[in-house]
Chains A and B, each alone.
Chain A
Amino acid sequence: MSLREEIDDRLARLEVPFGRYGVDSFGVSKAHLANFYRILGVLYKDYFRVRAYGVHNVPSTGRAMLVGNHSGGVAIDGAMVIASMFFEMEPPRLAQGMVEKFIGKVPFASAWSSRVGQFTGLPEHAQRLLDDDRLLMVFPEGSRGTAKLYWERTNLVNFGSGFVRLALASRAPIVPFAFIGGGDAVPTIFNAYKLGKLLGAPYVPLTPYLVPLPLPVPLAVHYGEPMMFEGTGSEDDATIEHKVEQVKSRVAELIAQGERARRTGDGRLLPPPRRA
């Protein structure tokens, strides 16, 4: 089956209720998704040769929240998670991320991100998507997470706590995941904040070869078992922080496992990195 045929077949089975004009109530467009997945498909299968582990941990229907680490200075982590949910799940699911607010002001990026279901990171959007039983993708490190430098690539920075309150209030399971290799694909050595300000972005990551174009490094996503917390979402900060830490530790464990698997091969499908 060619990539185009595979995408058409999977799009037909996607849970999104497209209306008469091929868009759903959020403006997600079937035609735009087809083009989007064509680009993601080439990157996912050929360029990065992404391996996804534990996809069965993601609920096949109903609301859920994918929560993981940022890896790589540009949004390849989010894009590859979206691709893995589409190309690896049966039936496929649309992972809907929360994009940086500045994207909404950028021509083309604004229209495209919303047509493929990636909305600005507002609590109202997250809540509404979960209420509609969608699959939400959250990077609680926020833009601090994409700003990690090469030598910090396997670390986690501070997690925001809003996602736990949201998961509790909407009774959504949290599926922790680790994204492995993004920091090698985009080895950021410096973040140019002033240049970013000029371009209307938080910063521009710079690499040894200057531009933040990702290298064709094999990437991996490890999905862990769903975590379900009891509560209402209106608990005090200390209680919420405790749950945030549980999720963060789980993501850290998955990162450690993922890095180990990557180094050793560990019986996994991933080849060990070539050494000179």
Chain B
Amino acid sequence: MKVVVPGISGLLARLVAVELVRGGHEVIGIDARPWPDAPAGVTMHLFDIRKRAAEEVFRTARPDAVVHMGTVTHLRERSRERYRINLGGTRAVFDYCHAYGVRRVVFVGRHTYYGADADSPLYHTESEPPTGNASFPELADLVAADLYAGSALWRYPELETLVLRACYTLGSSHHGTLAAFLSGKRVPMILGFDPLFQFMHEVDAARAIVAALESNVRGVYNVAGPDPLPLSVIVRAAGRQPLPVPEPVFNFLMGRFGLPRLSPGAIAHIKYPIVIDGKPFRRDTGFQFQHDARDAIDDFAAERAGRR
């Protein structure tokens, strides 16, 4: 298949591109950020997905499929620009797909859209509405992008749309929210809370996205790997030290003494679990993860040790 990957220069998207090339697909990357050592088999286009030049790629290349990985998830871009990238970019992708006869599109979102709350069920299923924006306003644009992508299922019925809500990833690339959270020697936790965290090896995550593309299913799917683990267990297994802090002093400490900075809404994500049920995805696509939790943590920790 000829596959366009918007946001290809992100670390997880690069792994997806490598998997696609390995699977014999022709990959066209679109990203404003460069990927200097992109492998053979990947054609790079350095521009924003919302620009006319991006539409021209769709017009001339006539891709069969799109894996949309061009959403910004980190919280540094807390601005209207992030909102425009996430929602405007997603809209552009679906409009191009519709206009230029793309057969299949995979939107890659996050399991955090379900939100973290003391009252929410431990395992989230696809039938639940994503309520992440209620407790965590910074997620609003991502939740909106996820729902917008899902709306393509009825707006463009000829387009096979697949919306993925994938759990955290860990691995040697240090990509993602959980890796960033575990980056310091001491990992802050809220005293008296130890939520389950769900993650999968980043290579498995990339394989799952490719498996989703190569399958013939459409709809909304949670993508998960091994069983979730308590945060304290992950922290210790990664060779880090949990630092339980009473919630009232937590805000004060964040961003100081080498601790990561978290937005107030993110605190719910380290107090309460967000766990998804990934069984329907495995059942319908036949995907099976190859790396267990230990592998993912070890690869993450080994890379850390190597960097020091």
Q: Which residues of A are interface residues toward B (Cβ below 8 A)? A: 19-21, 23-27, 29, 101, 104-111, 114-115, 119-120, 122, 124-125, 128
Contacts and interface: CB of A to CB of B under 8 A. Distances in A.
Interface of B: 118-119, 121-123, 190-194, 196, 227-230, 233, 237, 246-247, 271-273, 292-294
Contacts of B293: 20-21
A195 to B, nearest CB: 21
B227 A25 contact: yes
A129 B119 CA distance: 17
15 contacts: A25-B227, A25-B228, A27-B122, A27-B196, A27-B228, A27-B229, A107-B190, A107-B192, A108-B192, A109-B192, A110-B118, A114-B122, A119-B122, A120-B119, A128-B123
B233 A111 contact: no
Interface of B is mostly: loop
Contacts of A124: 121-123
Given A26-B122, A105-B118, A108-B192, 17 more contacts: A21-B237, A23-B230, A23-B233, A25-B228, A27-B228, A29-B230, A104-B272, A106-B192, A107-B192, A110-B192, A114-B122, A115-B230, A119-B122, A120-B118, A125-B121, A125-B122, A128-B122
A16 to B, nearest CB: 12
Contacts of A108: 192
B119 A23 contact: no
A113 B201 CA distance: 29
Nearest to A104: B118
A128 B277 CA distance: 11
B119 A101 contact: yes
A23 B229 contact: yes
Contacts of A29: 230
* Residue from the set B118, B190, B246, B293 with the largest chain A CB neighbour count within 10 Å: B118
